[in-house]
Amino acid sequence: MFKILVSDPIADKGIEILDDAGFEVIYNPNPSNDELQSYLSDIDAWIIRSGTKISSEELSDTRNLKVIGRAGVGVDNIDIKSATNKGIVVMNMPDGNTISAAEHTMAMMMALSRNIQIGHMTIMNGEWNRKTLVGSELKGKILGIIGLGRIGREVIKRALGLEMKIVGYDPFVNEDVFDTENIEIMGLDELTKTSDYISLHVPLIESTQYLFDIDRLKMMKESARLINVARGGIVNEKDLSFALNNGIIAGAAIDVFEEEPLKSDNPLIKSQNILLTPHLGASTHEASEGVSFGICRQVKDYLLESKLSNPINMPIQDMSQLKQIQSLLDLSEIMGKISCQLLDDSPLESVSIECIGDIEDSKPIALSLLIGLIQSMTDLNVNFVNVGSIAQERGIEFTHSISSEQSSYSNLVKLKISSQGKEIKIEGSASGKNDYRIVNVLD
């Protein structure tokens, strides 16, 4: 029986999927450190939202963990590298929060432009400051969208309905997929200087950390406003506070923070013209139910059927398709084991795999061969997830290809290994289920 840990709140529909599959479910949102440590040694899957942080320390205590499921989009709260090195699949739910995050973005933008948060607070304090809270219409304003993925595109749809002018920036999206009548694609600096509102929809990675620091904030119009419903850390919070308090920009609406929950000494709390919400972008009943149901189903399908959906760190997208080439995978792994024995403890320098015949994809075959080759070199659980990174860490140059060369075999896998001037060649062929053989060893 598989044991599943759920350490963040998820909807009942998700738990029902796990229960119906016969899994042992440990449902403990926000466990203490001692409780968490007591679970880690024998869980097979770990389902989280944004509240749980999975570091290399936690992962080092797991022995059976096969998959981490993130009920949501962002995975910056998971140490992906450590998970990959341990052969743990990380998967997420990229679609579940899309509408909720886009709608929250629009709500923040509208509330900020009409001073709704300030108006509410002053009335609650017995004041009536109507004349000092004159707002701005969104119609005709320029909205800069940074990040043109799913959420960014949903924001564009809604902003067009408000008759805003849209400009966008995303270095990883082909601008040809956008209607130039609805959006103008431009560089980041130009967008920053042009926009009346800037909305962030990028992941937190090395290139986006502190993307909006004091230098970029100074590029914005004094009348411009910044909205972040993406990830904490994209905006430098100290710099933003300085910009707001010194009139460098007109306002900001922030839903995500570098450290959550927000501490009382965070500079944003005492900033002028700011609207803060406690990470509510995905906090709707619909989104919670959608991502809970989706990620639990994905985890169930992976554990029971080896079916992958939305994997973050898996080089092969559909493990179930591997069953169709199982004989080739078995052959490749055996070839790897044989070549490892022929190395005579010599350091491995390069591995080259060439596939000939009816083989359509050389990658899974090459990875399977690497698994056989590396298994005896390490005490790690070597699998499709981590074998590439293990090879890279050991300095093994690794290539694979499909050749149009003619062969008397319907399928032929050719392996060439180099080690300190020594070259090992092995060839194998597979023609049916469990029908595979070595056809050439060392010429």
Matching residue, tokens 């050719």: 414
Gyration radius (Cα) of the chain, Å: 27
Catalytic residue among 231, 333, 354, 400: 231
**Which three-class secondary structure state does DSSP give residue 171?**
coil
49 in catalytic set: no
Name 412's Cβ contacts closer than 8 Å, sequence gap at least 6.
355, 356, 357, 427, 428, 429, 439
C-alpha separations of 92 from 56, 196, 351, 354, 369 in Å: 19, 33, 32, 33, 28
Alpha-carbon span 430 to 306, nearest angstrom: 23
| Cβ–Cβ < 8 Å for 214, 240 | no
231 in catalytic set: yes
**Helix spans in 255-413 (H):** 285-305, 326-342, 363-374, 387-393
423 in catalytic set: no
Catalytic residue among 49, 104, 153, 279: 279
Catalytic residue among 127, 163, 260, 286: 260
Name 271's Cβ contacts closer than 8 Å, sequence gap at least 6.
240, 241, 244, 245, 252
Alpha-carbon span 332 to 168, nearest angstrom: 47
Strands 422-432 and 411-419: antiparallel
What positions carry a catalytic annotation?
Answer: 231, 260, 279
